[in-house]
Amino acid sequence: MSRSLFDKYGGFASVSKVVSAFYDKAVESDIIGPYFDDIDMRSQVDHQTKFISSLMGGPASYSDEALQKVHSGLHIDRTSFEEMARLLHETLEDFSFERSGVDQIMHEINSRADIVITRHDS
Ligand code: HEM
């Protein structure tokens, strides 16, 4: 593979647009919107941009350990995780990402489910 997805889709400038569109959907969601009620969205978009960029082979990176730490107090269940993943998937399609790119990013996201989910449905 010669170019990373990150370069192919236009670097940080483009990725941050995707992330903003994704968060617009997230805050509107009845399932996960409430998690973001008290969060400064600008810093969220900033951090999430770095994370998604790293999944696409860009320069920034986020360790699994850091990810676990941030989400540990948030009591995220599987339903909420899946809603988040669904909205991200939808956003990538809105921006006409190719199928292989979408699959790669969703694989990276889904492989972190056990790190982010801390509340288990009974
Ligand atoms: C694999 C999936 C996910 C990834 C990659 C991810 C990534 C991130 C990152 C990078 C941050 C910023 C950390 C920082 O400020 O340094 C963050 C914060 C946050 N995430 Fe996630 N997240 C995921 C899933 C979720 C889900 C499913 C929810 C809720 C339903 C959620 C809710 C939040 C909230 C509320 C914060 C802000 C925490 C705070 O600032 O106190 N995340 N996430």
Interval 27-41: pLDDT, tens: 999 999 999 888 888
Euclidean distance between CA atoms 46 and 48, whole angstroms: 6
Q: Does residue 7 carry a pLDDT above 60?
A: yes
| pLDDT for residue 122 | 53
The domain of 53 spans: 5-116
112 lines ligand 1 (CB under 6 A): yes
Residue 122 lies in a domain: no
Number of domains in the chain: 1
Q: What is the distance between the alpha carbons of residues 79 and 102, in angstroms, rounded to a whole number?
A: 21
**Nearest residue by C-alpha to atom 38 in ligand 1:** 70
Q: Output the residue whose Cα is nearest ligand 1's atom 37.
A: 39
Backbone CA torsion sign across 37, 39, 42, 48 = negative
63-121 tens-digit pLDDT:
889 889 989 999 999 999 999 999 999 999 999 988 998 998 899 899 999 999 988 76
* Residue (of 102, 18, 116) closest to 64 by Cα position: 116
DSSP 35: G
Query: In which band, very low, low, confident or very high, does the pLDDT at 25 lie, cut at 50, 70 and 90?
Result: very high
CATH number, domain of 44, equals 1.10.490.10
User: What's residue 103's pLDDT?
Assistant: 93
How big is the CA angle at 51 (ends 109 and 72), to the nearest 5 degrees?
Answer: 70
Contact in structure between 92 and 105 (CB atoms under 8 Å): yes
d(CA 94, CA 19): 12
Identify the pLDDT of residue 121.
67
Task: Give Cα separations from 56 to 41, 70, 77 (angstroms).
Answer: 22, 21, 26
Work out the average pLDDT over 41-58: 83
Cβ(105) to ligand 1 under 6 A? no
pLDDT > 50? residue 1: no
pLDDT value at position 49? 85
| Residue 83 within any structural domain of the chain | yes
